[in-house]
Amino acid sequence: MQKEMAGRAKKKIRSLQDLADAAGVSRATASRALNDNPVISLKTRKRLQSLARKHGYSINQKARDFRLQRTSVISVVFMLDIRSEQHMSDPFFLDMLGGIADALAEHDYDLLLAHAPITDVLDLKESRVMQQSDGTIFIGQGEQHEQLKELAAGDNHMVVWGYPVADKNYVVIGGDNKGGCYKATKHLLELGRRKVAFFGNTNNPENAARYAGYLQALDEYGIAANPMIEVDVPFEMHRAREVIVTMLESGVELDAVVCISDVMALAAISTFQDVGLDVPNDIAVVGYDDISLAAYSSPPLTTVRQTIRHAGRVLVESVLGLIRGEHVPDTMLTSELIVRKSSGENG
């Protein structure tokens, strides 16, 4: 038996059948192992993949894709908020894209990026995004939940980073938006703040959930929401400054603010400081996402951390699961309050 194994190992591996013979498995098992098919045990997959690497053998990806009618491409669509002037350069998007790209590379998939503002996502139905990729990852729902439902009804392999609204028919990966904003608001209330503003629109499911968490915390402290300090602040820095200054000039009083993103929170801090307000003594500020810049702002930003790069990996694993025909459930990732100096004495 040992001689037989040694003989198989010495044979030069030029084809899938050679690899299967060297490993003592069927050709179908070898193929599935190299394609990381979960039907094959992890131990066997790793053994076959290691043997293939050792002998410099790789599958003919073009031939495989043609046979399976696949492209080895995943499309990523960033649902930019046109109304709030959101840009692809937002660090949240860049961190998410990095996580997705790394995970796709590990599975030998290429990435097709759609990053221009999309007024109607159904326009993608006949585009390269949907027609020339094996699956699609949507980052955000925007205000196009109904359009996403229609796309999902077309038997497309698609997952969405967002919030699981009641009547959805697509797989959702997201964070604990309501719980995260509840923690942020409660943190400010525990520090004695009572005029807590909310910055950001509530037009999409994620932001609406964050607003619900904000309201829940206020309600627990017996504080009525004040529409005068619930402000639709744009993401674009100059426009955000204009909107915040206009609010302050109206004479409205606030001693803290919860923002729907770190970019918005950093714009708020800069604006408050420019008009002579001290952060956090005059106004405490909390953001959302914990982008890399958050810890280095002045003062460092208290924020709700989403594990963005990990989220990108989960999105990739989910869409690949759909492509393989697996049942893929929704996944909600935990959100953690990261306390720094922008919120006050406990920072």
Instruction: Quick: pLDDT tens for 17-30.
Output: 888 888 888 877 88
- Supply the mean pLDDT for the chain: 86
Average pLDDT over residues 289-293: 91
The answer to whether residue 86 scores a pLDDT higher than 50 is: yes
Q: What's residue 336's pLDDT?
A: 95
Q: What's residue 40's pLDDT?
A: 83
CA dihedral sign, ordered 65, 69, 71, 76: negative
Mean pLDDT is highest, among 85-94, 97-106, 143-152, 298-307, for 298-307
Q: What's residue 123's pLDDT?
A: 82
Model confidence band, residue 102 (pLDDT cutoffs 50, 70, 90): very high
Lowest mean pLDDT, pick from 66-70, 125-129, 327-331 = 66-70
User: What token pair was written down for 293?
Assistant: 């810049």
The answer to whether residue 346 scores a pLDDT higher than 70 is: no
The answer to whether residue 1 scores a pLDDT higher than 50 is: no
3-state secondary structure the chain: CHHHHHHHHHCCCCCHHHHHHHHCCCHHHHHHHHCCCCCCCHHHHHHHHHHHHHCCCCCCHHHHHHHHCCCCEEEEEECCCCCCCCCCCCHHHHHHHHHHHHHHHHCCCEEEEECCCCCCHHHHCCCHHHHCCCEEEEECCCCCHHHHHHHHHCCCCEEEECCCCCCCCCEEEEECHHHHHHHHHHHHHHCCCCCEEEECCCCCHHHHHHHHHHHHHHHHCCCCCCHHHEECCCCCHHHHHHHHHHHHHCCCCCCEEEECCHHHHHHHHHHHHHCCCCCCCCCEEEEEECCCCHHHCCCCCEEEECCHHHHHHHHHHHHHHHHCCCCCCCEEECCEEECCHHHCCCC
Comparing 322 with 65, the larger pLDDT belongs to: 322
Average pLDDT over residues 200-226: 94
Q: What's residue 66's pLDDT?
A: 43
User: What token pair was written down for 111?
Assistant: 């990435």
Q: Are 171 and 160 in contact (CB under 8 A)?
A: yes
Comparing 61 with 207, the larger pLDDT belongs to: 207
Comparing 164 with 236, the larger pLDDT belongs to: 164
Q: What's residue 248's pLDDT?
A: 94
The answer to whether residue 335 scores a pLDDT higher than 70 is: yes
State the virtual CA torsion across 156, 68, 74, 131 in degrees, nearest 10: -50
Comparing 105 with 3, the larger pLDDT belongs to: 105
Q: What's residue 264's pLDDT?
A: 92
State the virtual CA torsion across 285, 290, 294, 296 in degrees, nearest 10: 130
In 3D, which of 124, 110, 134, 146 has the Cα closest to residue 77?
Answer: 124
Measured CA to CA in angstroms, residue 74 lies from 99, 114, 136, 159, 217 at distances of: 14, 11, 6, 11, 40
Q: What's residue 183's pLDDT?
A: 98
Q: What's residue 87's pLDDT?
A: 64
- How far apart, in whole angstroms, are the C-alpha atoms of residue 313 and residue 161? 12
Structure confidence by residue, pLDDT tens digits, 248-259: 999 999 999 999
The answer to whether residue 36 scores a pLDDT higher than 90 is: no
Model confidence band, residue 213 (pLDDT cutoffs 50, 70, 90): very high
User: What token pair was written down for 234?
Assistant: 């744009």
